[in-house]
Every structure is written in C-alpha cells, then in structure tokens.
C-alpha cells in the first residue's frame, strides 16, 4: 500500500515519519523545494521532540520527500495536511487547500488507482463537500464516492507530543458518505490504531468536531484564567489548588486547567476566531466564545497592569521577559502571548531583554534589534527593573537568589507560578495567588 501526504508542517511531517517508520511506502510532498531539501538532509524546519529520530527511521525504510505531485500517481491513500492560515477577519484561507486539491485531482485523473483522500487540515463546515470534493471531481473528471473516496479526518495532535499523539490518538474521526471507501478507511485506521474509538459521521460534523474540541480547550483555559484573576484578589487563595480540586471531579477533568497568561500557538487562537466568524455568518451570535476570547485578550492587559503597578513608569526601564515560545519544549512563537506583551511594553518605551532556551532565533526575526537577546538567564536579569516569566520552561523554576542578585529592582512576576523557592529575596507576584 502506498501513502501520499501533501503538506509537511507539524501534522504532515509527523504523520509521514510515523507511517514510514511503521514500514508503509510513503511519499511526503510539499511545494516548498527548500523545505523538501532540508528534510531530505534530515534537517527538520522546526523543533519537535522525537520527530528527527522517527523521520530517520522512516528514511531507512520506504520514504520519499519531494515537491513533485506526480509521485501521488500510484498512491492508495492520500492525506491532505496543508495549512489553513487566518485572514484578518478571522476567516480561514483556503488557497493552500485549493492548490493541493487541484494538483491531486490532476494526478488521479490519469491514475488507475481509486484512492481514499483524507482531509486532515482544519476547515470550517462545508469545505470538504463544497470546495474539496468539487475541485477533485472537476480536475480528475472522476466521481467522489465511486472512483475516489473523500474522508474528513481532523487531527488532534499537540505540538511537543506530535509523534506520540500521531501514534496513539485518543479518537479517530471519519466524516463522509457511507461508501466502500469509508469501510476501507475505517479498516485502515483501526489497523493503524487498534483499540482507539472511531467515530463515523458526515463531513460537516467531522469539521465542526475539530472546532468544538479546540474551542472547548480554549474555554477551559479562559475559565481558569478568570478564576485565577479572582483568586489573585482573595488574600492567600491559590488557583492551582482550585484547579486540582475541581479537576478531580470527573465531570470536569484535570487537564487544561493550568492558569497563565492566556492561550497562544498556531491553533487555539485561530480556531476560536474562525468558528466565531462562521457562527456569526450562520446567524448565531457567538456570545460564549467571544467571552472566551475576550478573557484571553484581557490576560495581556492584566499582566501589563501588574507590571505598571509594581514598577511605576516603565519608560526606559529594563524589563526581562523569560520565555518566548508559546509553550515549553518548542521553538514555536506563533501567536505567543509573550510576543504580544513585548509589543505592548515596547509601545510604552520599555527596554526589553529576552531569554528562551529555544525560541530566540525565531523571535529575532520578528523584533530584530528592537530588543536585546540573552542566552543566559543571569545575563538577562542583570540590572533589570522587573522580570516576567511567561513560558513554563523547567529552568525558570530553578531560579535562585544568586541569579536574582544582579537585578536592579528585584521584582519577579510569575505568570505560570513555577518558582517553587519560597525563600526568594524579591517582590514576587504570581498570577492566581492572592496577596
């Protein structure tokens, strides 16, 4: 069985590597020639734990990486994993989906195969049927459900655990018509993920499931962040104890209740906005999701207020930002709250010094020489008027008095409550802990 994967971002490259390492004959395709060259040289364009090892393992078996769609000709299964970036009004851009689909259509026109095409990219309800299926039929001259199958198959992997999540998903969603292709899709995925629940539904339900999942995760985060702000105003209250306690109620669950500066990354912020936009167009006012988004936005304002209240005027003050990546163990800074805070601080003419174990180079491309970059926490804190911990990197939890001693004003704002040393000689303000 030959498998093609179109779009080699986090989702596509993880899937390519996992399937190839399992011994499938795999071709990974991306229109970015430079990216393909890098991958062929084992240089992964982003950091993801275990990806390099899995990819190398795949290359030892039957894996090809190319920018040429012709390699899809003899594929039995094709996954579409291209990105759906955001427009300024919150809608998703379908240009990459349309291009990929056209190319796939042209290839299957002359292919003897009757492939199943899995749509993994995150798309709003209706895209599989109204856009992808139509383009495939137009460019291939073949009929969906008869000469090829189209199955919506949203992805739930998280960055930093992408390989594990690809191998062991908690659920498999298959959306589409109940044709022989759906039976084959189910058979293939149940063999790949034995014991994992498979939900078979139609395209539009599969599409909304992905948005429901991500917007519910965002909801949990905004909920706990609102609670965190309330706790901060109750002397002695601690949001982590609240989260642990309510998390033990099986109806609530303990995950995604870690209060912080708000949710970032390339998915949660984008997906909440996209579903809000879709909802408004459908005539359903997204009251609830607007609140989720508003709370996320307010976290930035809250943090700025805390900095201003503790430091007084921040003009020309040296403020150290520890953590740039949108979460630990990645170099990804897309939609990172840390970067939003830096932008605001720069507007207030603060002098910013930043540290991150992995994301400095990506941040440099955004802020260039507007801020100072340090590879050591100690140097980043030297002469600083205020330090703010934005990302829960383990190294920040180990900060000791000897590292803080060179600060000009020993003020530490811990947005993640990771500083465990209760004997720190500084003004310590932790989000979610009432003074």
Near ligand UGA by CB under 6 A: residue from 35, 120, 317, 327:
327
Which one, 304 or 404, has the nearer CB to ligand UGA?
304
In the DSSP assignment, the letter for residue 148 is: B
Residue selected from 30, 103, 147, 159 as contacting ligand UGA according to rule CB under 6 A: 159
In the complex with ligand UGA, which residue's Cβ is closer, 2 or 210?
Answer: 210
How many amino acids of this chain bind ligand UGA (CB under 6 A)? Answer: 21
* Token code pair at residue 329: 């163990």
CA distance 419 to 399: 7
Span from 259-267, 273-281, 283-291, 363-371 in contact with ligand UGA (CB under 6 A)? 259-267
Site for ligand UGA in 165-224 (CB under 6 A): 214, 217, 221
> Is 260 near ligand UGA (CB under 6 A)?
yes
Q: Please choose, out of 65-73, 149-157, 288-296, 426-434, the segment that lies near ligand UGA by the rule CB under 6 A.
A: 149-157
Q: Which long-range contacts (CB under 8 A, 24 or more apart) does 242-250 make?
A: none
278: which 2 tokens? 């879709």
Among 211, 263, 393, 396, contact with ligand UGA (rule: CB under 6 A): 263
Note whether 268 binds ligand UGA by CB under 6 A.
yes
Closest to 190 measured CA to CA, from 198, 199, 178 = 198
Nearer to ligand UGA, 47 or 156 (CB): 156
Contact between 80 and ligand UGA by CB under 6 A: the answer reads no
Tell me the catalytic residues: 267
Contact 247, 232 (CB under 8 A): no
Under the criterion CB under 6 A, does residue 46 sit at the interface with ligand UGA? no
**Residues near 80 by beta carbon (within 8 Å), at least 6 away in sequence:** 6, 7, 97, 100, 101, 104, 117, 118, 119, 120, 121, 132
State which residue, 101 or 258, has the beta carbon closest to ligand UGA. 258
- Beta-strand ranges (E) seen in 94-235 are 116-119, 149-152, 172-175, 198-201
**Pick 257 or 377: Cβ nearer ligand UGA:** 257
Q: Does 265 interact with ligand UGA (rule: CB under 6 A)?
A: yes
Q: What share of the chain is helix, strand, coil (3-state, %, to 5)?
A: 45, 15, 40
Among 47, 59, 188, 256, binds ligand UGA (CB under 6 A): 256
End-to-end, the C-alpha distance of the chain in Å comes to 62
H-helix or E-strand spanning residue 3: strand 2-6
When computed from its CA atoms, the radius of gyration of the chain, rounded to whole angstroms, is: 24
Closest distance to ligand UGA from the beta carbon of 170 (Å): 9
**What residue ranges bind ligand UGA (CB under 6 A)?**
122, 155-159, 214, 217, 221, 256-258, 260, 263-268, 326-327
């Amino acid at each position: 069985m030959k498998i093609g994967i179109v779009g080699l971002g986090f989702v596509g490259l993880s899937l390519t590597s996992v399937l190839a390492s399992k011994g499938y004959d795999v071709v990974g395709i991306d229109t970015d020639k430079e990216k393909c060259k890098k991958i062929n040289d084992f240089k992964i364009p982003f950091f993801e734990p275990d990806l390099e090892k899995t990819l190398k393992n795949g290359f030892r078996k039957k894996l090809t990486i190319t920018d040429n769609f012709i390699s899809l000709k003899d594929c039995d299964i094709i996954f579409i994993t291209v990105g759906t970036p955001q427009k300024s009004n919150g809608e998703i851009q379908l240009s990459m989906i349309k291009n990929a689909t056209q190319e796939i259509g042209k290839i299957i026109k002359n292919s003897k195969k009757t492939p199943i095409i899995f749509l993994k990219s995150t798309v709003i309800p209706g895209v599989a049927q109204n856009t992808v299926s139509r383009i495939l039929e137009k460019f291939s001259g073949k009929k969906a459900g008869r000469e090829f199958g189209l199955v919506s198959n949203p992805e739930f992997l998280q960055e930093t655990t992408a390989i594990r999540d690809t191998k062991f998903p908690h659920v498999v969603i298959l959306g589409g018509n109940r044709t022989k292709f759906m039976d084959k899709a189910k058979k293939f995925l149940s063999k790949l993920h034995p014991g994992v629940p498979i939900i078979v539904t139609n395209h539009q339900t599969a599409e909304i499931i992905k948005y429901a999942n991500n917007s519910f995760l965002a909801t949990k985060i905004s909920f706990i962040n609102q609670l965190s702000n309330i706790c901060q105003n109750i002397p002695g209250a601690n949001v982590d104890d609240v989260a642990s306690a309510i998390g033990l109620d099986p109806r609530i669950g303990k995950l995604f209740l870690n209060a912080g500066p708000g949710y970032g990354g390339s998915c949660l912020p984008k997906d909440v906005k996209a579903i809000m936009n879709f909802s408004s167009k459908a005539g359903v006012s997204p009251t609830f999701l607007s609140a989720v988004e508003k709370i996320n936005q307010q976290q930035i304002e809250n943090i700025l207020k805390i900095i201003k209240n503790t430091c007084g005027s921040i003009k020309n003050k040296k403020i150290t930002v520890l953590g740039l990546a949108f979460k630990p163990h990645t170099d990804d800074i897309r939609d990172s709250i840390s970067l939003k805070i830096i932008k605001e601080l720069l507007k207030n003419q603060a002098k910013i010094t930043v540290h991150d174990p992995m994301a400095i180079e990506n941040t440099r491309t955004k802020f260039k020489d507007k801020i100072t970059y340090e590879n050591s926490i100690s140097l980043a804190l030297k002469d600083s008027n205020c330090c703010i911990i934005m990302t829960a990197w383990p190294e920040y939890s180990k900060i000791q008095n000897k590292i803080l001693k060179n600060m000009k004003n020993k003020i530490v704002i811990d947005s993640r409550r990771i500083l465990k040393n209760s004997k720190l000689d500084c003004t310590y303000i932790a989000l979610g802990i009432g003074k």
